[in-house]
Chain A
Amino acid sequence: MVAYIIRRLLILPVILVGVTILIFAMLQVLGPVERSALYVKDVPKTQNQIDSVIRRYGLDKPVHIQYWRWLVGTKDPVSGETVGGILRGDFGYSRTGGEDVVDLLKRRFPATLELALWSMVPIIGFGIYLGIVSALNHNKPIDQVSRVFAIIGWSFPTFVFGLLMILVFYAKLGWFEPGRLSIQFGREVMGPAFTRYTGMNTVDSLLNLRFDIFLDAVKHLFMPVVTLSVVIVALMLKITRSSMLEVLRQDYVVTARAKGLQEKVVVNRHVRRNALIPVITVAGFTLAGLLNGAVTTEVIFNYPGIGAAAADAALSLDVLTMLGITLFTAFIFVFANLIVDILYGVVDPRVRLS
């Protein structure tokens, strides 16, 4: 197990370098002029200025030199200070966001994280719970209903589901509205009287003891959270159910029952624990599903997260923003998958031993 973790940690830098190379390759579709936005905020207008920027930052140099400069930054020959360099946290200037890409990520990522964290409530509450109930009532009505729900929910395109949510809960009933906060609260949380600890409205409002803002934030989160989680809830239900059914057939469960243990004890002590192991393996997939779904969900509900920012940037070909977001999500993803793999080894003794 330790050897496995060490191996994974050794491969990690290779993957991360590979990711940056792939992103840098995508950057090559841009001409030197657009790429100068990596270093200067206002793209120069006259030919002379363009030439001087290209010379100054070596945008006409061979690809490997440019890649290295893109990674660690380049020294401005005039002022002597280092500019650019993604390792220094400089991803360039975001045209669609009107700020540095790093600032855009800092401001918008908490919104997406908040959405993803709240989505865990239905995923665990409904998906895993219904999966267990469904397996324990194998082929009874509740099982049939959850299976139908699972197959339909799994097939539902996120953006169609989101629009139907809007049709019913916003246009028809008027219970919820798109956006992240109501206008008056939106202004207030940006004001001096409100401390932003995490950037997540539901957390910050509680820390500031503003329960009215908390309720407003939850109200705005309802539609996107349901939309984002419906596919994953369906998937969790399927996986939990089939995993439970498999464990219920194992010899040790039969033995436990034969010993005369109460059904409750058998389920809690012998079945559920083992059945939830495969659920951990799809935790990585869950994260991928959340990030994928976040793009369309945030666009539909006008929710200012990084998914919506990626879509905005893609539509107006704001390459630096796109690549910054992609790099950021890819890094999160790599580390999250590493944690999931290690966790899996910790939980399942069969993996640990092999």
Chain B
Amino acid sequence: MAATTTQAGAGPAILDQGYLREQTRLEKLVGPEWYNLMRGLVTNPLTVAGLLLVLMFVLTAVFAPTLAPAPNEFWDPYRIPRDGFRPEPTPPGTPWDMNVPSYIPAWYSIVTGNEEWVHLLGTTSGQYDIWYGIVWGTRTALIAGTIVALASVAVGVILGGLAGYYGGWLDEVLMRVVEIFIAFPFLVGALILASLLTPIFGRSIVPTVLALIIFGWTAYARLIRGDILATKEREYVTAARASGANDLHLMTRHVLPNAIFPTMVRLSLDFGAVVLSFAALSFLGVGVPEGYADWGQIISFARSWILSLDTHWYIIVFPGLALLLYGLAWNLIGDGLRDILDPQMRGSK
């Protein structure tokens, strides 16, 4: 493997598992490391399953307005329409009387053979439609999850990168700060902070998102710092430094690209994990207001129906399944990435 180069398009032929072969076009474009990564992702059936599940969720979020139309054009789509106010949940297939979606989409009559809207997955306590909540909740999950994961990784990589690259007192101070944050159990810390932020920002996704970022970046800072410490001592970095490259160039072109892979594994796992944490906080009643399209929020209604959960199984099974599949999808992708990027794990599958 020694003959592989890190510069894209540098050579037409590369050594692959002992054989000399022509570089494909894609390989030239993205470079051999990224090429191997992408090839590994699409050849592992479990990872493919994960990618397909994520694709399904993305499509659901994109087509949410057709899958679950709002009752009218002035309606805030993230508010789940309620069909009355009765506390007793109603089972799947119950006719929809009040706040009915504004039109019948083509897919609806084909799939159900029905010309009137019914509650496809039933309603939860307070007559909130579960299907609508799950569909629009997918958007909430993707938006909140992406913001939290990307913001945490950005803050973590910048601070951890500075600490690892420059070392010295900056490293000492930043790592002590990280240790202070890590002293809090993640969910307990985020729960407390989110509830303190709620009076300031109002009931929305903002308090929870902020709290998850504030307690989430530290893991990345620790991870990237360790990897940068290891990478910056490598010969090619010394060589680049000797040839007069400045810090910014060294960092962005030589150190970071080679130290970033463990962070990417963690990021892909976190895309699912932060949504699970977000849902857990909404379930506990922190953050989004009642009736907001969010999976944890829908499930929280089940808390008052503990005694008759066997009759009202649909109020937890459907939203719970959405959440489980979402977490599962990212875990499958993350596991696949780890197998590709961690040479020690190779062959132990």
Contacts and interface: CB of A to CB of B under 8 A. Distances in A.
Interface of A: 11, 14-15, 18-19, 22, 26, 29, 151-152, 154-160, 163-164, 166-167, 170-172, 178, 242, 245-246, 288, 291-293, 295-296, 299-300, 307, 310-311, 314-315, 317, 319, 322-323, 325-326, 329-330, 333-334
Interface in B288-311: 296, 299, 302-303, 306-311
Interface in B184-214: 184-189, 191-196, 198-200
A292 B188 contact: yes
Contact of B309 (A18, A166, A319, A333): A166
B165 to A, nearest CB: 22
A146 to B, nearest CB: 14
A296 B284 contact: yes
B331 A154 contact: yes
Interface string B166-198: 000000000011011101111111011111101
B183 A15 contact: yes
Contacts of A22: 180-181
B135 interface: no
Given A292-B188, A330-B184, A333-B185, 17 more contacts: A14-B176, A151-B335, A155-B331, A157-B276, A159-B280, A159-B283, A159-B299, A163-B316, A166-B309, A167-B309, A171-B309, A295-B187, A295-B188, A299-B284, A326-B184, A329-B188, A333-B183
Contacts of B331: 151, 154-155
Contacts of A311: 191, 284-285
A349 to B, nearest CB: 20
Contacts of A18: 176-177, 179-180, 183
B313 interface: yes
Contacts of A152: 324, 328
B189 A19 contact: no
Contacts of A322: 192, 195-196
Nearest to A330: B183
B332 interface: yes
B69 interface: no
26 contacts: A18-B183, A29-B196, A29-B199, A151-B332, A154-B331, A157-B279, A159-B279, A159-B280, A159-B299, A160-B324, A166-B309, A167-B313, A170-B306, A170-B309, A245-B348, A246-B348, A292-B185, A292-B188, A296-B283, A300-B303, A310-B188, A311-B285, A315-B195, A317-B199, A322-B196, A333-B184
State the 9 A-B residue pairs at the shortest beta-carbon distance, nearest first.
A18-B180, A292-B187, A160-B320, A314-B195, A155-B327, A291-B185, A155-B328, A171-B310, A171-B309
Contact of A326 (B181, B188, B317, B324): B188
B178 to A, nearest CB: 10
B272 interface: yes
Question: Secondary structure of the A side of the interface?
Answer: helix
B344 interface: yes
A319 B176 CA distance: 26
Interface string B311-343: 101001100100110011001100100000000
Given A151-B331, A330-B184, A163 B302 contact: yes
A19 B196 contact: no
Nearest to B190: A292
Given A159-B283, A296-B284, A310 B183 contact: no
A245 B347 CA distance: 10
B185 A157 contact: no
A158 B283 CA distance: 11
A238 to B, nearest CB: 9
B242 interface: no
A107 B327 CA distance: 36
A172 B317 CA distance: 15
A288 B195 contact: no
Given A15-B176, A299-B284, A166 B185 contact: no
A178 B280 CA distance: 19
Contacts of B320: 157, 160, 163-164
A137 B271 CA distance: 32
Nearest to A244: B348
B286 interface: yes
A156 B189 CA distance: 21
A171 B286 contact: no
Contacts of A317: 195-196, 198-199
Nearest to A332: B185
B1 interface: no
Nearest to A238: B335
B193 A26 contact: yes
A245 B348 CA distance: 7
A152 B316 CA distance: 17
B110 interface: no
A61 B310 CA distance: 57
Nearest to A28: B196
B3 interface: no
Contacts of B327: 155-157
B345 interface: yes
A354 B187 CA distance: 34
B272 A155 contact: yes
Contacts of B311: 171
Contacts of B198: 317
Contacts of B192: 26, 310, 314, 322-323, 325-326
